[in-house]
């Protein structure tokens, strides 16, 4: 019985002499929302890219839905939202969603159903036929999220899904993530916002490619002897610095 | 290979074009403008060249006058000067490209020589040209020579031998445009397809679209095939436009099976787009991609046999021509359209294009996969 949706065992990634990911070991349980936290260059995006098969690990192993990555057979079941907009500006919102629906082999009617649901969720219904190049940054971001969910993936990798999204909509995002979670969807996301991390079931604090701490947000704060996540991160980072 | 996913990519390209009128205009107006501008400018005919005639012949019925009247008036615009110095001065000052000098007693010497070949009088028509423009100078020389031959013929002094090039085996009555259109077709499709795929793939890479695509079940080969289908259709549409205008405006010659010419162009489009994808992996930004442009255009322009045959390229440069894919497409489309050749005759060209397509496609797909390192 597989319990982990994602498992990393000593996952390492080097770009030349730079180590982006340093023996990262982490298990992410099915049906949870797991946050990868850390400053720029902590290795959050690199980890996600390896798990999605976009990069090859230099060492260690990664497992997604029980398969050792890279494995094409998991692609149908995962959704990936890159940090960049990654949308076709010369297509409408509808055009972008249709493309990804078709690539995942959805029928026309299914694409139409999903498109309606998702555009309602990201509040872009009335922009359906607008060119993406005419949408605002936040709108693009929401559409990008919708594109990564068109095929109802069991596992979602979201790289900074809430950047540039206004607070109201951000709150609704978290409600939606909760809803997905109740349906059994696993969500792995990265974020800069420490306050947002409170919504995650578990978090992993990363720094310079290494795991600083892992656990529920409350546990992580407690173990660092801090009062909030921000403090916890700074405390843990300093401890890491003091290590020989 | 899942053709549905490849076709999803094809559809997305056409959907994108629906909203991108500028690119569509580039795709279809650029070929038309290129054909008209080049076609008219390079029509091969030199016209309205200023020349000065200095006629020192003082006969009462001068033969020189007949020769002058036989000069091709479409090529040469004749003015007269009283003496050699004045004629030379006008060439020196750039008012004319040549001074044509008939010597004193030209007619008299001519008549004397007919009865006595050892007669010493001067019958040389001196043509002093500004050879800084060789094409123009050659046209002047030819025009004067033709006028002499015509005059001799009128006087019943026809040469006892002649050349007849009227009954051509291929391309009977062909004009420069007939030669040129197949070339410009291949050139335009090659250039625009390479450029557009280059730019659009650099965009795919930088905007993160490629990564998102690669996180779906889409394979790199399906992505490339999707592009190939779209751009071969676009290439064929461009060809149709060029041919319609070629026939309507320039009355170009099409003797062969035009479908075969389309197939060759589609094949060239596939070669071109794989080249574009390949080059895109070398560019980090669109601005860098543009720098490849001269690299693609210039050699093709000069060496692919579009404006002049490969035979007119220096021997040591010719191997380069054979390394440029459009060379084969130009040769094949020209052979089909002007010679009426079929697949049995152009198979070498087709084979070469297939070879380029297979090699470039493979490397293009590999270059996309390499991103996953």
For the stretch A17-75, pLDDT in tens is 999 999 999 999 999 999 999 888 899 999 999 999 999 999 999 999 999 999 999 99
Minimal C-alpha gap between B290 and chain A (Å)? 20
Side-chain half-sphere exposure of B114, counting CA atoms within 13 A: 9
Superfamily assignment of B49-154 in CATH? abc type-2 transporter like domain (3.40.1710.10)
pLDDT of B309 above 70? yes
pLDDT at B350: 95
Chain A residue at shortest CA distance from B12: A99
Answer yes or no: do B212 and A86 touch at CB < 8 A.
Answer: yes
For the stretch B26-55, pLDDT in tens is 889 988 888 888 777 766 678 889 999 999
How high does pLDDT run on average in chain A? 91
Look at the pTM and tell me if it is higher than 0.95: no
A131 near A92, Cβ under 8 Å?
Answer: yes
Give the Cα separation of B220 and B198 in Å (integer).
Answer: 16
pLDDT of B181 above 50? yes
Which whole number is the average pLDDT over B222-249? 90
The domain spans of chain B are: 3-42+175-370, 49-154
Q: Taking each helix axis as running N to C, give the angle between helix B220-250 and helix B3-18, from 0 to 180 degrees, rounded to the nearest 10.
A: 50
The domain spans of chain A are: 4-242
Mutation to test the A interface, candidates B212, B213, B369, most A Cβ within 10 Å: B212
Answer yes or no: do A88 and B12 touch at CB < 8 A.
Answer: yes
Class at the top of the CATH hierarchy for domain A4-242: alpha beta
Chain A residue at shortest CA distance from B204: A86
Alpha-carbon torsion, ordered B182, B20, A79, A81, to 10 deg: 120
| B43: nearest Cα among B178, B189, B165 | B178
Q: How many CB atoms lie within 10 A of CB B69?
A: 12
Answer yes or no: do B208 and A131 touch at CB < 8 A.
Answer: no
For the stretch B338-362, pLDDT in tens is 999 999 999 999 999 999 999 999 9
Which whole number is the average pLDDT over A123-127? 94
Answer yes or no: do A105 and B19 touch at CB < 8 A.
Answer: no
Question: Between A204 and B153, where is the model more confident?
Answer: A204
Cβ–Cβ contact A91 with B under 8 A? yes
Q: Which long-range contacts (CB under 8 A, 24 or more apart) does B143-149 make?
A: B143/B71, B143/B72, B143/B75, B143/B76, B144/B67, B144/B71, B144/B100, B146/B70, B146/B72, B147/B67, B147/B68, B147/B70, B147/B71, B147/B72, B148/B67
Answer yes or no: do A88 and B4 touch at CB < 8 A.
Answer: no
A43 near A206, Cβ under 8 Å?
Answer: yes
For the stretch B120-159, pLDDT in tens is 888 899 999 999 988 889 899 999 999 998 898 888 777 7
pLDDT of A219 above 50? yes
């Amino acid at each position: 019985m597989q319990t982990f949706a994602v498992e990393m065992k000593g996952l390492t990634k080097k770009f030349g002499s730079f180590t982006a990911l340093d023996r990262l070991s982490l298990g992410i349980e099915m049906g949870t929302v797991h946050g990868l936290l850390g400053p720029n260059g902590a290795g959050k995006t690199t980890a996600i890219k390896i798990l999605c098969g976009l990069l090859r690990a230099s060492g260690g192993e990664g497992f997604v839905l029980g398969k050792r990555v890279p494995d094409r057979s998991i692609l149908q079941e995962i959704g990936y939202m890159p940090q960049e907009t990654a949308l076709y500006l010369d297509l409408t919102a509808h055009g972008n969603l249709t493309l990804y629906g078709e690539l995942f082999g959805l029928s026309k009617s299914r694409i139409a159903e999903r498109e309606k649901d998702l555009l309602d969720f990201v509040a872009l219904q009335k922009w359906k036929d607008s060119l993406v190049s005419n949408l605002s940054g936040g709108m693009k971001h929401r559409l990008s999220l919708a594109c990564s969910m068109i095929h109802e993936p069991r596992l979602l990798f979201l790289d900074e899904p809430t950047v540039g999204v206004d607070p109201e909509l951000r709150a609704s995002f978290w409600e939606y993530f909760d809803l997905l979670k109740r349906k059994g969807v696993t969500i792995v996301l990265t974020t800069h916002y420490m306050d947002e991390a409170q919504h995650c079931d578990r978090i992993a604090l990363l720094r310079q490619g290494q795991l600083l701490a892992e656990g529920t947000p409350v546990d992580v704060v407690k173990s660092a002897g801090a009062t909030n996540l921000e403090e916890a991160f700074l405390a843990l980072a300093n401890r890491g610095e003091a290590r020989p | 290979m899942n053709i549905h996913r490849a076709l999803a990519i094809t559809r997305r390209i056409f959907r994108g074009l629906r909203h991108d009128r500028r690119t569509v205009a580039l795709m279809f107006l650029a070929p038309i403008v290129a054909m008209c501008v080049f076609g008219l400018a390079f029509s091969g005919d030199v016209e309205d060249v200023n020349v000065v005639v200095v006629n020192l012949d003082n006969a009462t019925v001068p033969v020189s006058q007949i020769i002058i009247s036989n000069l091709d008036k479409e090529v040469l615009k004749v003015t007269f000067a009283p003496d050699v110095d004045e004629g030379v001065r006008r060439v020196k000052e750039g008012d004319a490209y040549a001074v044509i000098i008939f010597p004193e007693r030209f007619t008299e010497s001519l008549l004397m020589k007919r009865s006595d070949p050892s007669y010493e009088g001067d019958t040389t028509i001196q043509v002093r040209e500004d050879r800084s423009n060789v094409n123009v100078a050659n046209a002047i020389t030819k025009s004067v020579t033709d006028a002499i031959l015509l005059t001799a013929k009128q006087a019943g002094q026809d040469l006892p031998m002649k050349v007849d090039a009227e009954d051509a085996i291929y391309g009977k009555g062909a004009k420069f445009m007939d030669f040129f259109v197949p070339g410009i077709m291949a050139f335009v499709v090659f250039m625009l397809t390479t450029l557009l795929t280059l730019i659009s793939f650099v965009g795919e890479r930088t905007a993160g679209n490629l990564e998102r695509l690669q996180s779906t079940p889409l394979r790199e080969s399906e992505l490339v095939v999707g592009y190939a289908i779209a751009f071969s259709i676009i290439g064929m549409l461009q060809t149709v436009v060029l041919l319609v205008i070629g026939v309507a405006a320039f009355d170009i010659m099409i003797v062969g099976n035009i479908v075969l010419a389309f197939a060759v162009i589609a094949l060239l489009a596939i070669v071109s787009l794989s080249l574009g994808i390949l080059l895109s992996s070398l560019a980090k930004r669109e601005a860098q991609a543009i720098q490849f442009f001269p690299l693609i255009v210039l050699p093709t322009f000069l060496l692919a046999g579009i404006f002049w045959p490969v035979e007119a390229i220096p021997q040591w440069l010719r191997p380069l021509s054979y390394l440029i894919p459009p060379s084969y497409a130009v040769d094949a489309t020209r052979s089909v359209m002007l010679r009426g050749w079929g697949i049995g005759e152009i198979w070498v060209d087709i084979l070469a294009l297939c070879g380029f397509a297979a090699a470039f496609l493979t490397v293009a797909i590999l270059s996309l996969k390499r991103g996953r390192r």
